Homo-oligomer: A and B are copies of this chain.
Amino acid sequence: MQLHEDDLKMHLEPISSDRMADVVEMRLREYFKKKSFKPGDQLPKEIELATALGVSRNVLREALSRLRMLGLVDTRKKRGMVLSMPDVLGGFQRVLDPLIMDDDTLQDLFELRLVLEMGLADILFISITDKSLRELETIAKNEVKGDKPIFRIKNEIAFHGKLYEIAGNKTLKRFQGMLLPVFEYVVRLEKEFISGKVTHRDLVEILKSGTKDDFREGMYEHLKPHFGRLETLKKRPTS
Shortest Cβ distance from A33 into B: residue: B97
Q: State whether B65 touches A108 (Cβ < 8 A).
A: no
Q: Which residues of B contact A95 (CB under 8 A)?
A: 70-72, 86-88, 90-91
Those of A141-196 within 8 Å (CB) of chain B? 167-172, 175
Those of A95-139 within 8 Å (CB) of chain B? 95-97, 99-102, 104-105, 108-109, 111-112, 114-123, 126-127
Q: How far is the CA of A68 from the CA of B132 in the complex (A)?
A: 43
One complex includes copies of this chain to the number of 2
Q: State whether B102 touches A85 (Cβ < 8 A).
A: yes
Q: State whether A111 touches B21 (Cβ < 8 A).
A: no
Interface centre among A39, A87, A115 (most CB of B within 10 A): A115
A11 within 8 A of B: no
Interface residue from B21, B63, B105, B118 paired with A119 (Cβ < 8 Å): B118
Interface residue from B19, B111, B120, B123 paired with A169 (Cβ < 8 Å): B111
Q: Which residues of B contact A121 (CB under 8 A)?
A: 118
A39 CB to closest chain B CB (Å) equals 6
* Segment among A47-55, A200-208, A226-234 that sits at the interface with chain B: A226-234
Q: How far is the CA of A220 from the CA of B122 in the complex (A)?
A: 9
Shortest Cβ distance from A112 into B: residue: B172
Q: State whether B99 touches A172 (Cβ < 8 A).
A: no
Knowing A88-B105, A111-B169, A216-B216, say if A227 contacts B19 (CB, 8 Å): no
A166 CB to closest chain B CB (Å) equals 11
Q: How far is the CA of A50 from the CA of B33 in the complex (A)?
A: 35
Knowing A94-B91, A100-B83, say if A169 contacts B112 (CB, 8 Å): yes
Q: Which residues of B contact A120 (CB under 8 A)?
A: 115, 119
Q: Which residues of B contact A209 (CB under 8 A)?
A: none
Q: How far is the CA of A126 from the CA of B71 in the complex (A)?
A: 39
Which A residues are within 8 Å of any B CB, using their own CB?
Answer: 19, 21-22, 25, 29, 33, 36, 38-39, 58, 61-63, 65-66, 68-72, 83, 85-92, 94-97, 99-102, 104-105, 108-109, 111-112, 114-123, 126-127, 167-172, 175, 213, 216, 220, 227, 230-231, 234-235, 238
